[in-house]
Amino acid sequence: MNQFIGLIISGLVGGALFAMISVGLVTTYITTGIFNFSQGSVAFACAFAFMELHLAAHIPTIASAAITVLIIAPAMGIGLEAWVFRHLSRAPEQARIVGTVGLALAIPAAVQICLTEVTHIPGAHVIAPAVSNPIALGPTPTRSWNLGHGILFNSNQLIILGFAALTALAYWYILKHTRIGLEMRAAVDGHQLARIRGVKLARVSRYAWIMSFISAGLVGVCGSILLGLGSDSYLVLLFVSAAAAVIGGLRSVPLAFAGGLILGVLENLVSGYVQRGPLAQVAGLGSAAPFVALLGGLWLMSRRRGRVAGTAAAASDAPVALIPPAKSWRNRTGFLVLAVVAVVVYYSVGELWQGVFNQGLAMSVIFLSFVVSTGLGGIVTLGQAAFVTCGGLLAGWFSGSYGFPLWLAAIFAIAAAIVAGVLVALPAIRLSGLQLALATLALAYIFDQLIFEIPAVGNQANGWFLARPRIGSLSFHAESRFGIVLFLALLIVIVLVRNFELSQTGRSVLATRGSRWGAASSGVSIVKARLIVFAVSAAIAAVGGLLLGQTLTEVTAASNPPLSALLWVTIVITIGIRRPAGAVLAGMSSSIFPQLLGYLTTSTQWPALLFGLGAVGLAQNPGGILELHRAQYHWVVRHVAQVWDRHRGGGLVLATAGAPVDFAATPVVDGAQLNGSDAARRTHSADRQRQADNGELPALFVENLRAGYGELEILHGVNLSARGGSITALFGMNGSGKSTLCSVLAGTVDAREGTVFLNGQDASDLGGVDRLRSGLFVVTESRSIFPGLTVEDNLRLTLRTSAEISKVLALFKELQARRDTPAGMLSGGEQQLLAMAPAMVLAPRILVADEPTLGLAPQARERILGLCQALRDRGTAVLLIEERPGEVFDIADDVALIRLGRIEWQRPRSEVSAQTLVNSFLSVTT
């Protein structure tokens, strides 16, 4: 029992570190949609900042810690938010994952390079002394207390627990009791609505990042005593904290905190209790436990039907590019020339460089597995290292321990990797994006800690020698000869990958990636497609691992730790993974680049820094450098075509045959046209401004509005007006563009042409806050409320002062009675009341309500419409958008009809008869 309690208490300390990281992870994920893989690395950077401040500037530890946590950490947060995270939040999910992974590698590399390179400057050891041991924040020597019964506790542990408690308290207070916390929760609950209600999402994100960086800073300052000075342990810290975040469903901050504590205890209990007995030999059981928990958590999350992650940027994955068409004859000759040149170069350089190229070839095979999994299957896989190690290590084990010939051992090893790949795929079938990436990582760690740590498998950590092939008396041992083997193997794998891409299975994989439901309804089996992708990718990675092992002549369990897979992902994304050529270029770069750098600098961290930054920069462009240049090339071609055509006075002809269609690219618009409408717009708006100032313009005036989504235009030139002190009813059937119009008015959809005037002011450039200030209040379709916030919180978001809130509650007794109930639990009528109630106090100049009476009982409808009339009587311009005329028609002053994106007519109600309405709805021309 004593052991149990002791393990729990000390487990809580480790758990406290996980908890502090995971609350930051969840907070930034739910507010910005970015899962920050670099959170652990930030803690690492803060740890070193703290230590260097103390050692170099001789600032006492507490002051150094305060400077680090309160100044340096937030500064990092603000800087990275402006430079990286702001752009990443608009990128597709794959880019967001890879971008932060790149940052996770770049930050420690930068820190270590600074420290290494600085030592070359004479006298620099005064500025940045080498750190040989972590520095404790607490009293030195450490005080410890024996709590009796063999349970011990020391001051460092106390500090960690204290900081964790402080973090928990701070997060709770901020989220529950401050304005910014309210805005964060609102942004999570309803992203669009929050924008409409005037929440500045950029500001909310910035605060979220500052909060999470501060908690990472705390971990860095107090945790280095436990974590040591190696950057790897901070990455592992992040992954375990990710497991804790998953326990919180990637949504709940308190659950994530608790999850961190639980995982710390779990890890400790497992390592504590399995130390006796046959499992004692497997050192990694304790450290594997959190990853098992991570897998379990992800699997549970996938079973939950409801909404999982909060806001997450609305951007979906970039549209899948079609398979690039066949190369033209001219390109193929170029390829041949390149191959001949490469061969000539290869045989004229010395053995050293032949070895470098050989390693590049082996890495190319490994990267080809990414072409299958990420380029084709769209899966960001962070666990490829496990398959690579499988290939080499198991082949070595089978041949070294059991005496199989290497080719037979290789077959077994590849088969084992395929089984592993299927095992990875099975629990992950339903997962996608971030959760899948986390699952692959978890599985890689489980393999690494459990299977590869078995002494027999790893030959007692000595590893296995892998001989190069020999056919009869012909030996391929020499570098130049072995290069042939590698080259042929690479060619074969490329052909296999291309054939796979073009096969039916390959196409079905592409289909499921483009649209899961579309694929499923076409009879394509998602399960089968995913299993095959994982199996093929694993097999290729295993072959690569075997070849790499032969190139390096040995393989150990530690040859390819899970973390190396992160670096591979950044390399391969930077260079480009859509095509095999990208994989080969990436493979050669990964080997040649460090070799070249070795001539310039002694630090080994540069590849991590440069490829990490490359991944951050190019994350948005899944084609990597290759496609970036191709895109630039095509842009130049298009631009030239434009200029040429304008000269000839003809229309626009895009002469880029062979380019992959990329729907994500901004459509090319003829420059002349744009300029024309801008100028016209400007003169018109000057006129309108004058009219508004004279009081001639209606409060809401829409002129010639065109708007839509993507390539689709919904509104084809809408002209509408609503005067103050009147109710304008806009009717239209489904699909006529009512909601789009409402969205444009609210500011969530941009107008492409035409103008919206709010009180005579051109509203094109106004965001949510400014539209509110212009006096616009929008009630969107399906209840403009935040279901997860209480009634009072909902009001607090829209109304600034408590006096206004009290007034509203006094006016609406039913809301008063339910002020602490989550808004999602109110009845339909109460919710609509809640949505519109603030208008009574705010007295907006313009009220736009989209289907305000939809789904309401007659009494509730009456109430709502009564509200509208009250507002009209006060001088508000009320625009009611409805599908069915009904009672709205009765209270309207003006009636308009919208059909197929155009306003058919707008007349005073007196001029509209019931027959007119019927005819319009039935499209009968009178």
Partner 1 sequence: MRSWNAQRRTTLLAVSAVVLLTAACSSANKQTGDSGVSGGGGSANNSSRGVSDDSIKIAGDLSETLGGNPTGNADVDLGTKARFYVTNQAGGINGRKINYIGSVDDGGSAATLLANVRKQVLDQKVFAISPFDTYAPVDASFFNDQSVPTFGDIISYAACGSKWFFGSDGCVENPTFAETTSVAAIAQYMTGKAPDPTTGAITAPVASDNPPPAGNSYAVITSSNLAQIIPTLKVAAKHVGWDACDYNATVPPSGVTDFSSFAGSIMRSCDGGKGPSVMLYVLPSTQYNVNMLRAMRGLGWKGQAEFAGFDPASLQSADLAPTLEGSIYYDDGVGFEGPDNKATYDQIRSALAGVGKPGTTISQGILAGWQSADLIVQGLTKVGKDLTPANLDKVLNSGWDTPGIAGFSSALSFPTSHTHPAPCWNIAKVESGKYVQATTFTCGQVLNSKTGAVVSGGAAK
Nearest partner of 584 among 749, 880, 367, 378, judged by Cα = 367
Q: Per rule CB under 8 A, is residue 62 in the interface with partner 1?
A: no
- Scanning residues 105 to 144, which ones bind partner 1 (CB under 8 A)? 108, 130, 132-136, 140-142, 144
By CB under 8 A, name the one of 63, 178, 351, 522 that touches partner 1: 351
Question: What's the rounded Cα separation, in Å, for the pair 225 and 343?
Answer: 52
Nearest partner of 914 among 771, 895, 562, judged by Cα = 895
Q: Per rule CB under 8 A, is residue 478 in the interface with partner 1?
A: yes
Q: Per rule CB under 8 A, is residue 373 in the interface with partner 1?
A: no
Q: Which is nearer to partner 1, 345 or 817 (CB)?
A: 345
- Within a 10 A sphere around the Cβ of 113, how many other Cβ atoms? 17
**Terminus-to-terminus CA distance in the chain, angstroms?**
90
Q: Per rule CB under 8 A, is residue 150 in the interface with partner 1?
A: yes
* Structure-token pair, residue 558: 């530690």
Find out whether 220 and 167 touch, Cβ atoms under 8 Å.
no
Count of residues interacting with partner 1 (CB under 8 A)? 96
Q: Per rule CB under 8 A, is residue 335 in the interface with partner 1?
A: yes
Strand ranges in 430-485 using DSSP code E only, listed in sequence order: 464-465, 470-471, 474-475
Segment contacting partner 1 by CB under 8 A, of 592-600, 664-672, 693-701, 853-861:
592-600
By CB under 8 A, name the one of 455, 514, 858, 866 that touches partner 1: 455
Rounded least distance, CB 36 to partner 1, Å: 21
Q: Per rule CB under 8 A, is residue 481 in the interface with partner 1?
A: yes
DSSP result, 122-138: TTGGGTSPPP-S---SS
For residue 907, the cross-strand partners are: 895
By CB under 8 A, name the one of 229, 320, 423, 733 that touches partner 1: 229
Q: Which is nearer to partner 1, 130 or 300 (CB)?
A: 130
For residue 252, the cross-strand partners are: none
Q: Per rule CB under 8 A, is residue 169 in the interface with partner 1?
A: no
> What SS3 string covers 178-204?
CHHHHHHHHHHHCHHHHHHCCCCHHHH
CA dist list (Å): 187 to 36, 80, 246: 18, 21, 20
Give residue 559's identity as a one-letter amino acid code. S
- Within a 10 A sphere around the Cβ of 293, how many other Cβ atoms? 21
Rounded least distance, CB 327 to partner 1, Å: 9
- Scanning residues 15 to 34, which ones bind partner 1 (CB under 8 A)? 17
Q: Which is nearer to partner 1, 503 or 515 (CB)?
A: 503
Cβ contacts of 815-819, under 8 Å, gap ≥ 24: 815/791, 818/791, 819/790, 819/791, 819/792
CA dist list (Å): 123 to 59, 116, 235, 602, 603: 19, 13, 32, 19, 19
Find out whether 253 and 211 touch, Cβ atoms under 8 Å.
no
* Structure-token pair, residue 135: 């520095």
Q: Per rule CB under 8 A, is residue 339 in the interface with partner 1?
A: yes
Q: Per rule CB under 8 A, is residue 595 in the interface with partner 1?
A: yes
Helix (H) or strand (E) holding 895: strand 894-899
- Within a 10 A sphere around the Cβ of 226, how many other Cβ atoms? 16
Q: Which is nearer to partner 1, 141 or 651 (CB)?
A: 141
Q: Per rule CB under 8 A, is residue 505 in the interface with partner 1?
A: no
Segment contacting partner 1 by CB under 8 A, of 13-21, 87-95, 309-317, 377-385:
13-21
Strand ranges in 744-805 using DSSP code E only, listed in sequence order: 753-758, 761-762, 776-779
- Scanning residues 660 to 719, which ones bind partner 1 (CB under 8 A)? none
Rounded least distance, CB 248 to partner 1, Å: 21
- Scanning residues 414 to 453, which ones bind partner 1 (CB under 8 A)? 449, 453
Segment contacting partner 1 by CB under 8 A, of 219-227, 314-322, 733-741, 909-917:
219-227
Find out whether 310 and 30 touch, Cβ atoms under 8 Å.
yes
Find out whether 592 and 356 touch, Cβ atoms under 8 Å.
yes
Helix (H) or strand (E) holding 261: helix 253-273
By CB under 8 A, name the one of 66, 87, 202, 480 that touches partner 1: 480
For residue 846, the cross-strand partners are: 776, 877
Q: Per rule CB under 8 A, is residue 405 in the interface with partner 1?
A: no
Q: Per rule CB under 8 A, is residue 328 in the interface with partner 1?
A: no
Segment contacting partner 1 by CB under 8 A, of 85-93, 291-299, 421-429, 487-495:
487-495
Q: Per rule CB under 8 A, is residue 340 in the interface with partner 1?
A: yes
Q: Per rule CB under 8 A, is residue 82 in the interface with partner 1?
A: no
Q: Which is nearer to partner 1, 27 or 287 (CB)?
A: 287
Interface map 519-558 toward partner 1 (x if CB under 8 A): ---------------------------------xxx-x-x
Strand pairing category for 726-731 and 894-899: parallel
Q: Per rule CB under 8 A, is residue 491 in the interface with partner 1?
A: yes
By CB under 8 A, name the one of 146, 504, 666, 734 that touches partner 1: 146
Q: Per rule CB under 8 A, is residue 336 in the interface with partner 1?
A: yes
By CB under 8 A, name the one of 71, 152, 411, 843 that touches partner 1: 152
Q: Which is nearer to partner 1, 236 or 849 (CB)?
A: 236
Question: What's the rounded Cα separation, in Å, for the pair 597 and 391?
Answer: 29
Rounded least distance, CB 582 to partner 1, Å: 17
Q: Per rule CB under 8 A, is residue 358 in the interface with partner 1?
A: no
- Scanning residues 604 to 643, which ones bind partner 1 (CB under 8 A)? 604
Q: Per rule CB under 8 A, is residue 322 in the interface with partner 1?
A: no
Question: What's the rounded Cα separation, in Å, for the pair 587 and 479?
Answer: 17
Q: Per rule CB under 8 A, is residue 232 in the interface with partner 1?
A: yes
* Cα-Cα-Cα-Cα dihedral sign, residues 499, 501, 502, 507: positive
Q: Per rule CB under 8 A, is residue 345 in the interface with partner 1?
A: no
Segment contacting partner 1 by CB under 8 A, of 48-56, 381-389, 484-492, 916-924:
484-492
Helix (H) or strand (E) holding 153: strand 152-154
Q: Per rule CB under 8 A, is residue 384 in the interface with partner 1?
A: no
By CB under 8 A, name the one of 166, 408, 411, 502 that touches partner 1: 502
Q: Per rule CB under 8 A, is residue 395 in the interface with partner 1?
A: no
By CB under 8 A, name the one of 217, 355, 622, 885 that touches partner 1: 355
Q: Per rule CB under 8 A, is residue 596 in the interface with partner 1?
A: no
Find out whether 547 and 396 touch, Cβ atoms under 8 Å.
no
Q: Which is nearer to partner 1, 370 or 487 (CB)?
A: 487
Nearest partner of 31 among 187, 214, 257, judged by Cα = 187
Q: Per rule CB under 8 A, is residue 461 in the interface with partner 1?
A: yes
Give residue 499's identity as a one-letter amino acid code. N
Backbone angles phi, psi at 907, to 5 degrees: -135, 160
- Within a 10 A sphere around the Cβ of 123, how many other Cβ atoms? 6
By CB under 8 A, name the one of 154, 241, 364, 740 that touches partner 1: 154
Nearest partner of 410 among 475, 483, 485, 351, judged by Cα = 485
Segment contacting partner 1 by CB under 8 A, of 598-606, 615-623, 697-705, 848-856:
598-606
DSSP result, 53-67: HHHHH---HHHHHHH
Rounded least distance, CB 633 to partner 1, Å: 23
Rounded least distance, CB 449 to partner 1, Å: 7
Rounded least distance, CB 663 to partner 1, Å: 24
Question: What's the rounded Cα separation, in Å, for the pair 26 and 411?
Answer: 43
- Scanning residues 262 to 291, which ones bind partner 1 (CB under 8 A)? 264, 267-269, 271-272, 275-276, 280-281, 283-284, 286-287
Q: Per rule CB under 8 A, is residue 484 in the interface with partner 1?
A: yes
Q: Per rule CB under 8 A, is residue 594 in the interface with partner 1?
A: yes
Rounded least distance, CB 456 to partner 1, Å: 11
* Structure-token pair, residue 265: 């205890």
